[in-house]
DNA sequence: CAACAGAATAATGTTGACAATCTACAATTT
DNA sequence: AAATTGTAGATTGTCAACATTATTCTGTTG
């Protein structure tokens, strides 16, 4: 499936503008790693690939810029953001704060249906561990935290959490890996759900934040392990394209 | 090489695109209240007013959309966001979290120069209170918190704090008003600086967050006071234009 | 008079062309 | 050979025209 087809096929009666479609597609490509960090987004090439003109591409780029996924330089273009380790650690801190807030808010309005849903995710993640399916764990983990955010009754905190989670993925490191880490992580999920169920906002905040702080620790461990063996760094989920189908780097 | 780099970076920043120019201008107009909440941003009118074409205006709008200052509806236009009370309270919560983080980070790398600067702001605010100049207090207050953010050594938390602070202003309510409130607020500033100076991150976090939580309380008090006397609601700082010089509302 | 249909109007969505700027490479000079 | 300048190509910035969609107006009909 080509990039152009996916967007051009919607060109009939649509209520989502091309700029939005391009934005989503670009975001997907960036988070997938199809466009590596530091790479330039060539407006002409992308417009041609997606079968649209440069206008929507430029609008999409402005949108992504504010979201922190790309950086624009005047008269030079927009580049996929490259996270430094320090920036990534800061993002983990911020996400821990927001996650704590989300859990606390949810604990105030929690009902049994939500708890059941969250427990189902936890069971699914346990199953993924047993099946040694890390990709499935990864996706269910995302769904679990998204569900908490969606049910929290917040508006800005929810979108903020989503934005920070996307930004973190710029690091392109699979932090959650290995059966031991996965089991620990899911045990924390259990603690989070119990804290939310208890209806105690402080306890829910504590557990939600702690889980993400532990994530930061896991990141640090992964990084120090990579220091020792830089050759076999653990990369994130599958990359769609080799990205060299369009040469976007200006200099070598 | 050092000279060359500095020239190149200077050249890059020297030229700001029209889209950026328009973005800043629009943001100013929105935060000033020159374009009221709920109003539509008419691309043609704005482009004509600013002497540019619609392209840069649209790019600026996409930028503001991601910042939360406007909301876009497909085929209908972009509208200045109107904050509900619930959303505003959530923004105060989030800002308290981030502010606490900023203060904690700053406490880790604090030096005497920063402390002197912050104390100077506090003295200036005291002077503003004595002179009954609430506008000056308002501006210095912004500068005080911006200085903490800038000195904190963070990147994302800093921009996040700035974004949330702008978003809060969409409420168009002057919360800090009356000598008593101003004195209390500045006393909290003093506590914040002392906590930062102590080098204790937890204490700094606590004071920074508490100050903004109190801000939320002050907002609630202002709102309940407005409930009683809706006619004399306290509006924010001066509005530049009557905003009816460009009719942007579609229906009457 | 209310309700509805259709045209007129105005706004947004999109495009291709043009201008300004940057990058890369070759020619020239020292 | 190194540095510099000039030129050609590529890329971003901007614009004005066109297409599509939403709104408003108006006349008709029940």
DSSP string, A40-56: EE-HHHHHHHHTS-HHH
What's the whole-number average pLDDT of chain B? Answer: 87
* B interface test, pick of A14, A53, A59 with most B CB neighbours within 10 Å: A59
Distance, CA of A34 to C1' of C8, in Å: 48
| Residue in chain B lying closest to A154 (CA) | B90
Over pLDDT 70: what percentage of chain A? 84
Within A 63-92, residues with CB less than 7 Å from strand D:
72, 74-77
Tell me, yes or no, if B160 comes closer than 8 A to chain A by beta carbon: yes
pLDDT band at A175 (very low <50, low <70, confident <90, very high): confident
Please determine, for residue B127, whether its predicted confidence score (pLDDT) is greater than 60: yes
Q: Assess whether B12 (CB) lies less than 7 A from strand C.
A: yes
CB count, 10 Å around CB of B250? 11
Contact B19 A62 (CB under 8 A): yes
pLDDT at position B243 is 39
Q: Which of residues 37-56 of B touch strand C (CB under 7 A)?
A: 40-45, 54-55
Cα A129 to Cα A122: distance, rounded to the nearest angstrom? 11
Distance CA A79 to C1' C26 in A: 29
CB contact under 8 A, A15 and B74: yes
Residues of chain A contacting B65 with CB distance shorter than 8 Å? 63, 66
Q: Stretch B217-238: mean pLDDT, rounded?
A: 68
Asked if B63 lies within 8 A of A65 by C-beta distance, the reply is yes
DSSP state of B100: H
- Which long-range contacts (C-beta less than 8 Å, at least 24 apart) are formed by A124-131? A125/A182, A125/A186, A125/A189, A126/A186, A128/A182, A129/A179, A129/A182, A129/A183, A129/A186
Nearest Cα to Cα of residue B27 among B107, B98, B81, B84: B81
Exposed/middle/buried for residue B141 (C-beta within 10 Å: 0-12, 13-18, 19+): buried
Give CA–CA dist A41/A39, Å, rounded: 7
Give the mean pLDDT of B182-200: 97
Q: Do B12 and A73 touch (CB under 8 A)?
A: yes
Kindly report the nearest CA distance between residue A96 and chain B, in angstroms: 10
User: What predicted TM-score, i.e. pTM, was given to this entire model?
Assistant: 0.87
DSSP code for B176? S
Residues of B in contact with A98 (CB under 8 A): 94, 97
Nucleotides of D under 7 A from a protein CB: 11-17, 21-24
Q: Are B213 and B95 in contact (CB under 8 A)?
A: no
User: What does the pLDDT look like over A222-247, one tens digit per residue?
Assistant: 888 766 665 554 555 444 443 333 33
- Distance of B64 CA from C7 C1′ (whole Å): 36
Residues 35-94 of B with CB under 8 A from A: 55, 58-60, 62-63, 65-68, 74-75, 86-87, 90-91, 93-94
Cβ contact A88:A171 at 8 Å: yes
Q: How confident is the model at residue B3 (pLDDT cuts 50, 70, 90)?
A: very low
More confident position, A241 or B233: B233
CB of B5 within 7 Å of some strand C atom: no
Gap between the Cα atoms of B142 and B88, Å rounded: 18
Rounded, the Å distance between the CA of A129 and C1' of C8 is 65
Measured between CA atoms, the residue of chain B closest to residue A68 is: B156
* Whether pLDDT at B165 is above 80: yes
Q: Which long-range contacts (CB under 8 A, 24 or more apart) does A64-68 make?
A: A64/A23, A64/A26, A64/A27, A64/A30, A65/B63, A65/B66, A66/B62, A66/B63, A66/B65, A66/B66, A66/B67, A67/A27, A67/A163, A67/A166, A67/A167, A67/B66, A68/A163, A68/A167, A68/B156
**The pLDDT of residue A76:** 95
> Who's near B55: CB < 8 A, 6+ residues apart?
A55, A58, B19
Q: What is the mean pLDDT of residues A197-212?
A: 98
Taking CB atoms and an 8 Å cutoff, what residues of chain B touch A73? 12
Q: Please report the beta strands in A165-229, taking only residues with DSSP state E, as ranges in sequence order.
A: none
For residues A161 and A106, give the distance between their C-alpha atoms in angstroms, rounded to a whole number: 14
pLDDT category of residue A250 using cuts at 50, 70 and 90: very low
Q: Is B104 on the interface with A (CB under 8 A)?
A: no
């Amino acid at each position: 499936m080509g990039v152009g087809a996916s967007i051009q096929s919607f060109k009939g009666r649509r209520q989502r503008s091309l700029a939005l479609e391009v934005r989503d597609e670009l975001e997907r490509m960036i988070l997938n790693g199809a466009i590596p960090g530091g790479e330039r987004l060539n407006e002409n090439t992308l417009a041609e690939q997606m079968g649209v003109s440069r206008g929507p591409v430029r609008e999409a780029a402005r949108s992504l810029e504010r979201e922190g996924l790309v950086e624009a330089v005047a008269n030079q273009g927009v580049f996929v953001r490259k996270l430094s380790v320090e920036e990534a650690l800061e993002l983990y801190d911020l996400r821990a704060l927001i996650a704590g807030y989300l859990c606390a808010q949810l604990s105030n309005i929690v009902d049994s249906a939500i708890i059941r849903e969250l427990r189902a995710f936890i069971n699914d993640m346990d199953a993924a561990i047993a099946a040694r399916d890390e990709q499935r764990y990864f996706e269910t983990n995302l769904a679990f935290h998204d569900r908490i955010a969606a049910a929290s009754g917040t508006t800005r905190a929810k979108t903020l959490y989503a934005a920070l989670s996307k930004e973190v993925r710029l690091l392109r490191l699979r932090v959650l890996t290995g059966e031991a880490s996965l089991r620990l992580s899911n045990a924390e999920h259990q603690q989070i759900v119990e804290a939310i169920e208890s209806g105690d906002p402080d306890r829910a905040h504590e557990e939600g934040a702690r889980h993400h702080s532990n994530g930061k620790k896991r990141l640090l461990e992964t990084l120090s392990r990579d220091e020792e063996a830089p050759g076999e760094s653990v990369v994130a989920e599958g990359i769609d394209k080799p990205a060299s189908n369009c040469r976007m780097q200006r200099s070598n």
